[in-house]
Structure 1
Amino acid sequence: MVAPTRALIFPLAPPGVFDVHRFDLRERQPLKPDELSGFLMEAGYVRVDLVSSMGEFSRRGGIVDFFPPEGSGPVRVEFWGEEIESLRVFDPATQRSTGRLSAATVPPVREYPWSAAALDRLRSVLESRRSARKPASARAHTRGADDLQARIEALAAGATFNGFEACVRLVEDRPASLFDYAPGASLVSWEPGQVLSDLESVYVEMHASFDLSEDFGMPPPEELLLPREVLQPKAKQAGLRLSELALEEGRTGAVHVPCVRARAYKGRIQDLAADLKQAPPQTTTLFLMDSPGRSERLREVLRDYDLPAAIVADDGARPAPAAPPGGAAASPSRLLIASGRLSQGFALPRLGLQVLTEREVFGEHAERESRRRKVAAFSPGFRDLKIGDLVVHVEHGIGRYAGIARVGEDGSSRDFMLLTYEGGDRLYVPIDRLDLVQRYSGVAGQKPRLDRLGGPGWERTKKKVKKAMQEMAHDLLQLYAERAAARGLAFSPDTAWQKEFEDAFPYEETSDQEKSIREVKVDMEKEVPMDRLICGDVGFGKTEVAMRAGFKAVADGKQVAVLCPTTVLAFQHLSTFRDRFSSWPVTIEMISRFRSPREQKAMLQSKDVRFNDLGLLVVDEEQRFGVAHKEAIKAMKKDVDVLTVTAKPIPRTLQLSIAGIRDMSVIETPPENRLAIQTSIAPFREGVIATAIRNELKRGGQVYFVHNRVESIGSMANFIRRLAPEARLGVAHGQMSEGVLERTMIDFLNGEFDVLLATTIIENGLDIPRVNTIIVNRADRFGLAQLYQLRGRVGRSDRRAYAYLLVPARKALTPVARRRLKALQEFSELGSGFRIAAMDLEIRGAGNLLGSEQSGHIAAVGFEMYCRLLEQTIQEMKGETPRPEVKAQINLGVDIKIPEEYIPDFNERLVLYKRISTASGEEELARIRDEIRDLYGEIPHQAENLLALAVVRLLADRLKVRAVDYGAGRVQVRFAEDAPVDPEGLVRLASALPGASLTPGAVLRLELDGAGGAARPSADLRRIEKVRDLLKSIRAGDSMRPVSQPTTIGPPNGDR
């Protein structure tokens, strides 16, 4: 057991308490879902909708998920009545099961299991102490009562507050210490003198923070912490003392082991190779790589320098001898490579051993292997749809959502989405046709009018919008055509230097990074100038893609320009590029207001940094440049390769609509070991701020404090210095002189300051892994996307990061501000950028996404409909055939719905209805079915009917079927006039199929003999399957006609 000094002083629950609060589960065990849910809550698990982190649980009907702090991952418990039917492990990223278990254990997730009885006792103790203490004022008394209530509720909900660990002494008569959990164990003390000093520091710190908590009844620290007179003697009884300094070398039994820090090569492989070749023959070098893939990559790199290395197997087996180059006899290698992690390397000269980690070999410690997964894309969808919200029906225009209505008798009932329109008109949309309905996202401040059912207004609006689109699309297509016709430089294929540069990347690429890099290289090796957009979430590795493109250009003797919208971002890129290119002869300079005119002139006129042969232009966050700058960028784009990088997530609907015009790569895969940022909305109080700063400083980190008012930033600096006098504070804002601002940023980057008090000047680009806490003052005044960008400045390492969004303590928030903050707190998982973008569309509108000149058109039809029309317009102008808009009317008289008792949450059902109706193929529907079965249990027949009918609908839409009806034991299929079917082929099919016939009006009929005698659920499914097989026969046989034949099916008005 390894523990910090701080862990010694806090009281713990007696060891026996944890045994009482452990619960074993096994298959076929009699147990009710409610009983398991209650036990999980008592054990400290927090109830959520979907489990993604340790300590969470969820309940969906007869399925309970929970994520224990031990074991192989989260567990899914499926019940059959009052018995456990199965236990499964599942992946929290996909929510899909990955394996079965015969048994599982539910351990407590907190240091103390706060049962209802324990919480009542704590409340009673704190309330009596608070009542006995004379408050400083009536306001302090009220605030103390509020704080006490908030803390009790936090503990009950599974959350914590500063100092909550010490409350154990208030409810346990005989609390335990860490020593009680390992009686008789050998004690090893690292830096014994520092341990005693740290113990005293914690007591002093707790006394200092006591004033901040006394209002709600907390007793002084000496009544909460374990007594120092008990701990100090035990800390001195260590059987083994370890110290970096040889202070105890003269003592009996002291052993001095010479150990030196390993040299840091930081990607300079040639220097590493030279040192390895010059090392004494008896020296063994062990490389510790973060993954087998990285181990193999290092072996290839060393082989290029004629240095054979052997890979140590994971089971520790002795590696096979490495064959040296040139066919010489194999011999035991002096160079060994293994998978493993250490914080840093070292050398033991006496033993002839040196250990090098990825940190020494390639640079920063490689903590970012790919998760090999993507965060699920998010569209605004129906997850939060409420009665009264505006929606858009593709054929009938803008209406208002009025709920779900069930129509029909039991056994053949059907759910419909009810929409209301101008004049009180009502429209019932079948639940399996929700692909025709979109949530309305317009433009902030512009409220649309409801359309009238059956009126000409909606069609007129769509035509007007499409006409305006044609002008915009014409300009886009003209630019696309000019670039396609232009001839630029085709860069050479990758060189050995390129491979070496990429091998020096200190992380393992994510799958999306690899795909983006391949796409960029393919573009650069073409004669047509590249114009590619790299879109990715905050901290997902876009800069590395740009740097590899830059190296490829430099390797061909071309120059690279990187354009940034802010000086701070330019400085960050200068630092990042210089560090990454440090082992190669590449000159990297910066031109900004940080540089004097003389310096800039000298740079531009030097032989190394002249834009006389520019080959690649990298534009970072183009949308943040001004109009004049954008025109200048457009001029530079004409004959050079252009790579645009943005962290602004582009909604999926817009990606699809512009896919035919601009090349785009999307990076959605989050880095490995990156933890989600814990986001808290808190009132502006001294205790909250002081605790947040001190907690971060205690773990050796740094803090951003965002205060976006330059006129009061000085007084805020004094406030912070008073709250946390031990913190070294720096101040940065855009009105500072160039020299002072640059010096401040450099000092903070180098760790000279603990806290940087800044305006939103830090919003883009700053990437400092040590900064893992951000405090945003007056968070209610920021936009959602801006808050998301600010929060993304932290959490750039494998440490947990914290974001505190401060709001006025006694001031009511506006509904919009409340919604923004709630969304940011909800979307805290990795890769939430696309979900944030979607939510931002709802809150702020889409007008600024495509420019103000388009905002009126977006307001008229809604953002998703706008994108749909834009896609159609571009396809038409490129001479492509837009996808058919014929939507089949299907009525088979079957029971289709997701029963409430199966999925009680209304919005979850709505989301599934939408996903099923918009599925693009049978494979996607199969995935949705598997997911539903895994998440919610055995699928009821009504939902199976819904999924089966979705397959029929897909086939019908592709065949341009106008209607499929059932009645009197037969199915009738009516085709649209331009359906891609051959009438003669239909005749042959009707003759070949038993029970099939074709009417003079080209209506295909199929008798369903025998279906009626079956039980209702199976009869419904058989009817759907027969129609599915019929449509598949049409599609697979010779009934299809070439698209170019303008054959008309039936009379002009059809057989009605």
Structure 2
Amino acid sequence: MNNIYEFLKNLKDDKKLKECELLIVNDDKQAQIASDIVSFLGFTPFVLSDFRANFGDDLLSFSTELQEITKVLNEFYSHKKQNKILISPVRTISFSLPKEKCFDSYEINFADTIKIEEFKSKLYNWGYYFVDIVTSEAEASIRGDIIDICPLGSEFGYRISLFDDEVESIRKFDIEDQKSTKDEIETIQISPAFLALDEETYEGITEEILKVSSDAFIKDIHSLGFWYLNDLGEFLPNSMNCFITQESLEELDEVYVFEEKRINKDKFLTTPQIFKSKTHKEIAPANIKEFISFHEGKKVTIISSTEAKVKAHDLDLSDSKIKYLIEPYIINLVSNDEVIISLNQEIKKRRKKKIKLVIDELQVNDFVVHEKHGIGQYKGIEPVTVMGAKRDFVIVTYAGDDKLLIPVENIDLVDRYVADGSSYAVVDKLGKGSFAKLKEKVKDRLFAIANDIIKLAAARELVNGIKIDTNKHTLQEFRKSSGFDYTKDQSRSVSEIFKDLSSGRVMDRLLSGDVGFGKTEVAMNALLATILDGHQAIFVCPTTLLATQHFHGMQKRFEPYGISMAKLDGKSTAKEKSEIKKGLSSGEIQFVIGTHSLLGITAKDLALVIIDEEHKFGVKQKEKLKNLREDVHIFSMSATPIPRTLNLALSKLKGMSSLLTPPSERLGVRTYVKEYSDKLIKEIVLREKRRGGQLFYVHNNIASIEAKKADIEEIIPNIKVEIIHSKIKPADAEKILDAFEEKKFDILLATSIVESGLHLPNANSIIIDGADRFGIADLHQLRGRVGRSNKEGFCYYVVEDKKQITSDAVKRLVALESNSYLGSGTALAHQDLEIRGGGNIIGEAQSGHIKQIGYGLYLKMLEDALSTLSGDSKEEKKSVDIKLAISAFISDDYIVEDRVRLELYRRLSKSIDKEEVYKIEEEMEDRFGKPDLPTKQFLELIMIKILCLQKGIQTVSSYEMNITFTKADDTKETIKSPSKDDDDIIITTLKYLRK
């Protein structure tokens, strides 16, 4: 910073700043600093992206940088004032860049005539991608008389409506939800997405590209055009007045210099250099007011993005000795005659906003579990007229086509059936009492499991744990060396683990968080604390590939600390295994990462065992690890959420930590629902290939998976596809995953076996075939395979025929939120997703019982068993049978969408006090207006239910004007209503219950 400021200030003072047209810096970080300085000195900066490709690379994976370069050069050349400086990282400017004549713009005005074919041709030659739906810059879609286009640098798209060939309206539209604004605009400017080429030039470049030898999958102007600009390009350091920083020349040593297509380093050496400053020093004052007082007499400038920040630092805006500049610049310098201090901090890039839609938990044809009647199939909500009164009932079908009609006010008795994802439900027989017997059988088994859990926890409480010193300064330095700021959840989790390790008690803690949320980073803090304190640690993974992945990552992070570490897995030779085991026994090896091979090891001073993806280990395996030493600390990690209910029960027995916040650089997953076509599959695959990525293709049928592979290879020749599913041997499956990570093939064609697994950051598109046949939780988990790095993920839910699924189903599929929200527990109400986490915590293989009654009821019963044995038993849930002859339902005239009505029914049925009902009523009025009569009466029916529960009333029924209340002891009381009209029945019932 200091050298750039001193150099540019001297040029300005000597009135020679116009001599600098191009400033060459080290990287994009230095480019931003230079931009702030140029702006501060009163000139206009134009900053090129840091373009780190090598000549001949497939540039589709660098499309973002290239688009930014195109946009900035266009703006630079069209800026006609002289006070401008182009700032470029050295790697970018070492290439031939497009000349000024390559840039142009196209104006579209209201009432203009557009000849569609000519317009399409122009956009094509200018580098626009033609797509079905415009979702990002440089894309266009022409659908009849509607043109959607998103020019470079625009945060929104433009929707142009034509009447015949005349522009009828131009509106902006949100590329996230595709909704256009109401306001029309008069004119728009469209700039090139690549370069403003005419048809002849475009075809000339394309012909040259087709002749070259390249490993680019698709040889086109987007992938290779930048390398073959020929006379359209120029080396800007040759054609402009330029200067280069000394650090940039050092960077050139790492740049591969291609003699013909890239500037030779010698040419840079003749460029005037900006040397290190002799007069200005960079500063980071802790107390700004005090710092200024030490430099009295100097010219002082305070930079702040807001006046509020100035006041927060107790500085006086009216002080004439200080110049205040309200700008976003970050410059902190001091010299013999001036002080510049910025109150601003580096702003991280904003995360793109995502669409948020509410998803109900229940879909038609889902299997459900009724607490009393067992597993049936949900068939929707239907109005039924009973004794002249209309009510809504939940329809559940059982074996033999028997139907159970459940009043919507009791919909809380029904939960969606979830087992292990691969289980298919078997419906129960209605009214046979078999489900009640089954529940009792499961209950007995659950009491035994709960008893074992409590005994185990109690036994560990009596053992003195190994005390680990977690206050070492090195541990703080380790966190700082990560290269990123920890999320609040990560910092909290590290504190919780450190508290356990230093407490003198044995730690048994589970960390839950989605892949990519930083669980391993948290675990490394525990590992380092243990090893620095003189003890040994092991890190156990379920697969060899995962072990290898962790080993390489940790080796790099732990290198400065001189830790002796090793890897022990199925690939280790007999000799390696023997040496590692010997090293652990002697204490020579401090830390080992491995698979199940670690289960039988002995160590000299083992203090910590970390289990990654702990749900993939059986309870016996986990107990074997705990028994390596009775006072060993256990830290488990899982990528599945912990159910809130079970968390409360188990938190007394086990430490729980959660990572719910994604890292700031993590992008969301853009999700689409599409109808299957060969063209679509080709477009998706090529789009991912263009940006250098790989894909998952989920086809959940082993019998036809080979045929699907043949189809894909026929649609896209030369594409490399490999298959993985549950019948492939584990060793072979690992080899396939290994090859996928090493990018030896393009598409991993799999069953839903890939739902949980490795961190494969290069696979950022997933196609889920027959998405309407998957549960929401499965789709949610599968979508989590992509978007794990800082590259945006794409998920395509593909259905065979859109006409065959309901619009609600489409809405539900589209509504699955971005990966950023995984693990939040609030964005989506996926009870089954939470339930999976619960099954993982238990560890006991209870698939038979879970399959018979579903995870939801299984966990609820386990929670009850744990509470009872812990002496914290809760009152059994009661229900009310309401048989009032009144018409009470949320009418479809008031709320049209069944999905929204179902969601409100569920929320109201779960309400336990009148305040909850009033809040929901208030919300309904705000969203949909005043409730109509049947809706208002349904809200009053819910109030009757709540009051009955509070008074111990089991049944309330009416016949003519008689209203009868029946209590648990079968005592009855009958009262009379003034009439048999709905309003009189309701008023009389409420009056009785409120007295």
Note if contact 2:134-2:150 (Cα within 8 Å) is conserved in structure 1. Answer: no
Q: Aligned pair 1:258/2:245, yes or no?
A: yes
Q: Which amino acid aligns with 1:674?
A: L
Corresponding residue for residue 385 of structure 1: 364
Give me the whole-angstrom Cα distance separating, in 2, the residues matched to 1:284 and 1:765.
50
Corresponding residue for residue 703 of structure 1: 694
Match of 2:863 among 860, 863, 871: 871
Corresponding residue for residue 904 of structure 1: 896
Q: Aligned pair 1:451/2:429, yes or no?
A: yes
Q: Trace 1:135-154 onto structure 2 (pairs within 5 A).
A: none
Give me the whole-angstrom Cα distance separating, in 1, the residues matched to 2:424 and 2:737.
42
Match of 1:640 among 632, 643, 646: 632
For residues 679 and 935 of structure 1, do their structure 2 counterparts lie closer, same or farther at Cα, with a shift above 3 Å needed?
A: same
How far residue 858 of structure 1 moved from its aligned partner, in angstroms, is: 3.0
For residues 742 and 448 of structure 1, do their structure 2 counterparts lie closer, same or farther at Cα, with a shift above 3 Å needed?
A: closer
Give me the whole-angstrom Cα distance separating, in 2, the residues matched to 1:434 and 1:533.
33
For residues 408 and 799 of structure 1, do their structure 2 counterparts lie closer, same or farther at Cα, with a shift above 3 Å needed?
A: same
Match of 2:109 among 16, 38, 60: 16
TM-score (norm 1): 0.56
Q: Aligned pair 1:473/2:450, yes or no?
A: yes
For residues 741 and 399 of structure 1, do their structure 2 counterparts lie closer, same or farther at Cα, with a shift above 3 Å needed?
A: closer
Corresponding residue for residue 674 of structure 1: 667
Note if contact 1:392-1:439 (Cα within 8 Å) is conserved in structure 2. Answer: yes
CA offset digits 1:915-962 (Å, max 9, x no partner): 221245566556644554454444445445544654554454355443
Note if contact 1:412-1:895 (Cα within 8 Å) is conserved in structure 2. Answer: yes
Secondary structure of 2:241's aligned partner: coil
How far residue 900 of structure 1 moved from its aligned partner, in angstroms, is: 0.4
Secondary structure of 1:860's aligned partner: helix
Note if contact 2:696-2:748 (Cα within 8 Å) is conserved in structure 1. Answer: yes
Corresponding residue for residue 137 of structure 1: none
Q: Which amino acid aligns with 1:607?
A: E
For residues 283 and 314 of structure 1, do their structure 2 counterparts lie closer, same or farther at Cα, with a shift above 3 Å needed?
A: same
For residues 47 and 851 of structure 1, do their structure 2 counterparts lie closer, same or farther at Cα, with a shift above 3 Å needed?
A: farther
Percent of residue pairs identical: 25
Note if contact 2:355-2:817 (Cα within 8 Å) is conserved in structure 1. Answer: no
Paired residues in the alignment total 771
Give me the whole-angstrom Cα distance separating, in 2, the residues matched to 1:418 and 1:743.
48
Give me the whole-angstrom Cα distance separating, in 1, the residues matched to 2:865 and 2:893.
44
CA offset digits 1:546-600 (Å, max 9, x no partner): 2333344345443332111112211222233344445555554433345555555
Corresponding residue for residue 569 of structure 2: 592
- Bigger CA drift: 11-20 or 632-641? 11-20
CA offset digits 1:823-861 (Å, max 9, x no partner): 98764632457879867899x999999789633333433
Note if contact 2:535-2:605 (Cα within 8 Å) is conserved in structure 1. Answer: yes
Give me the whole-angstrom Cα distance separating, in 2, the residues matched to 1:793 and 1:567.
19
CA offset digits 1:807-832 (Å, max 9, x no partner): 9xxx999x99xx99999876463245
Structure 2 unaligned residues grouped into runs of 5+:
1-45, 49-66, 75-101, 115-130, 141-147, 167-174, 180-186, 213-218, 252-275, 290-299, 315-320, 592-602
Match of 1:609 among 590, 595, 599: 590
Q: Aligned pair 1:829/2:922, yes or no?
A: no
Give me the whole-angstrom Cα distance separating, in 1, the residues matched to 2:306 and 2:543.
51
For residues 805 and 882 of structure 1, do their structure 2 counterparts lie closer, same or farther at Cα, with a shift above 3 Å needed?
A: closer
Secondary structure of 2:538's aligned partner: strand
Corresponding residue for residue 513 of structure 2: 536
Q: Which amino acid aligns with 1:488?
A: G
Corresponding residue for residue 549 of structure 1: 526
How far residue 912 of structure 1 moved from its aligned partner, in angstroms, is: 2.0
Note if contact 1:679-1:805 (Cα within 8 Å) is conserved in structure 2. Answer: yes
Give me the whole-angstrom Cα distance separating, in 2, the residues matched to 1:505 and 1:934.
47
How far residue 180 of structure 1 moved from its aligned partner, in angstroms, is: 9.7
Give me the whole-angstrom Cα distance separating, in 1, the residues matched to 2:204 and 2:686.
16
Q: Aligned pair 1:885/2:862, yes or no?
A: no
For residues 536 and 745 of structure 1, do their structure 2 counterparts lie closer, same or farther at Cα, with a shift above 3 Å needed?
A: same
CA offset digits 1:86-136 (Å, max 9, x no partner): xxxxxxxxxxxxxxxxxxxxx9964554769689xxxxxxxxxxxxxxxxx
How far residue 485 of structure 1 moved from its aligned partner, in angstroms, is: 2.9
Give me the whole-angstrom Cα distance separating, in 2, the residues matched to 1:262 and 1:354.
29
Secondary structure of 1:562's aligned partner: strand
How far residue 260 of structure 1 moved from its aligned partner, in angstroms, is: 3.1
Note if contact 1:283-1:354 (Cα within 8 Å) is conserved in structure 2. Answer: no
Note if contact 1:286-1:337 (Cα within 8 Å) is conserved in structure 2. Answer: no
Note if contact 1:767-1:796 (Cα within 8 Å) is conserved in structure 2. Answer: yes
Secondary structure of 1:256's aligned partner: strand
Q: Which amino acid aligns with 2:364?
A: L
Give me the whole-angstrom Cα distance separating, in 2, the residues matched to 1:410 and 1:311.
79
How far residue 913 of structure 1 moved from its aligned partner, in angstroms, is: 0.8
Note if contact 2:832-2:856 (Cα within 8 Å) is conserved in structure 1. Answer: no
Note if contact 1:399-1:421 (Cα within 8 Å) is conserved in structure 2. Answer: yes
Give me the whole-angstrom Cα distance separating, in 2, the residues matched to 1:795 and 1:552.
32
Corresponding residue for residue 862 of structure 1: 854
For residues 18 and 634 of structure 1, do their structure 2 counterparts lie closer, same or farther at Cα, with a shift above 3 Å needed?
A: farther
Corresponding residue for residue 562 of structure 1: 539
Secondary structure of 1:862's aligned partner: helix
How far residue 617 of structure 1 moved from its aligned partner, in angstroms, is: 1.4
Structure 1 unaligned residues grouped into runs of 5+:
22-43, 49-53, 56-66, 71-106, 120-154, 160-174, 182-188, 209-219, 265-278, 288-294, 300-308, 324-330, 360-364, 979-1000, 1031-1056
Note if contact 2:688-2:764 (Cα within 8 Å) is conserved in structure 1. Answer: yes
Give me the whole-angstrom Cα distance separating, in 2, the residues matched to 1:635 and 1:198.
70
Corresponding residue for residue 795 of structure 1: 787
For residues 642 and 747 of structure 1, do their structure 2 counterparts lie closer, same or farther at Cα, with a shift above 3 Å needed?
A: same
How far residue 481 of structure 1 moved from its aligned partner, in angstroms, is: 2.4
For residues 824 and 544 of structure 1, do their structure 2 counterparts lie closer, same or farther at Cα, with a shift above 3 Å needed?
A: farther
For residues 909 and 608 of structure 1, do their structure 2 counterparts lie closer, same or farther at Cα, with a shift above 3 Å needed?
A: same
Note if contact 2:302-2:340 (Cα within 8 Å) is conserved in structure 1. Answer: no
Secondary structure of 2:238's aligned partner: coil
Q: Which amino acid aligns with 1:315?
A: T
Give me the whole-angstrom Cα distance separating, in 2, the residues matched to 1:965 and 1:403.
25
For residues 579 and 459 of structure 1, do their structure 2 counterparts lie closer, same or farther at Cα, with a shift above 3 Å needed?
A: same
Give me the whole-angstrom Cα distance separating, in 2, the residues matched to 1:423 and 1:759.
36
How far residue 464 of structure 1 moved from its aligned partner, in angstroms, is: 2.0
For residues 583 and 179 of structure 1, do their structure 2 counterparts lie closer, same or farther at Cα, with a shift above 3 Å needed?
A: same
How far residue 795 of structure 1 moved from its aligned partner, in angstroms, is: 1.4
Corresponding residue for residue 619 of structure 1: 611
For residues 263 and 966 of structure 1, do their structure 2 counterparts lie closer, same or farther at Cα, with a shift above 3 Å needed?
A: farther
Give me the whole-angstrom Cα distance separating, in 1, the residues matched to 2:789 and 2:818.
15
For residues 298 and 536 of structure 1, do their structure 2 counterparts lie closer, same or farther at Cα, with a shift above 3 Å needed?
A: farther
Give me the whole-angstrom Cα distance separating, in 2, the residues matched to 1:910 and 1:772.
34
Note if contact 2:109-2:188 (Cα within 8 Å) is conserved in structure 1. Answer: no
Give me the whole-angstrom Cα distance separating, in 2, the residues matched to 1:765 and 1:442.
19
CA offset digits 1:191-238 (Å, max 9, x no partner): x99xx9999756867999xxxxxxxxxxx999x9xx99xx999x78xx
Match of 1:483 among 457, 460, 473: 460
Match of 1:916 among 888, 908, 921: 908
Give me the whole-angstrom Cα distance separating, in 1, the residues matched to 2:943 and 2:721.
64
Corresponding residue for residue 1047 of structure 1: none
How far residue 497 of structure 1 moved from its aligned partner, in angstroms, is: 3.9
Give me the whole-angstrom Cα distance separating, in 2, the residues matched to 1:746 and 1:599.
25
How far residue 792 of structure 1 moved from its aligned partner, in angstroms, is: 3.8
How far residue 620 of structure 1 moved from its aligned partner, in angstroms, is: 0.7
Give me the whole-angstrom Cα distance separating, in 2, the residues matched to 1:954 and 1:569.
52
Give me the whole-angstrom Cα distance separating, in 1, the residues matched to 2:106 and 2:839.
57
Note if contact 1:415-1:431 (Cα within 8 Å) is conserved in structure 2. Answer: yes
Corresponding residue for residue 151 of structure 1: none
Match of 1:439 among 416, 432, 454: 416
Give me the whole-angstrom Cα distance separating, in 1, the residues matched to 2:610 and 2:848.
32
Give me the whole-angstrom Cα distance separating, in 2, the residues matched to 1:206 and 1:515.
55
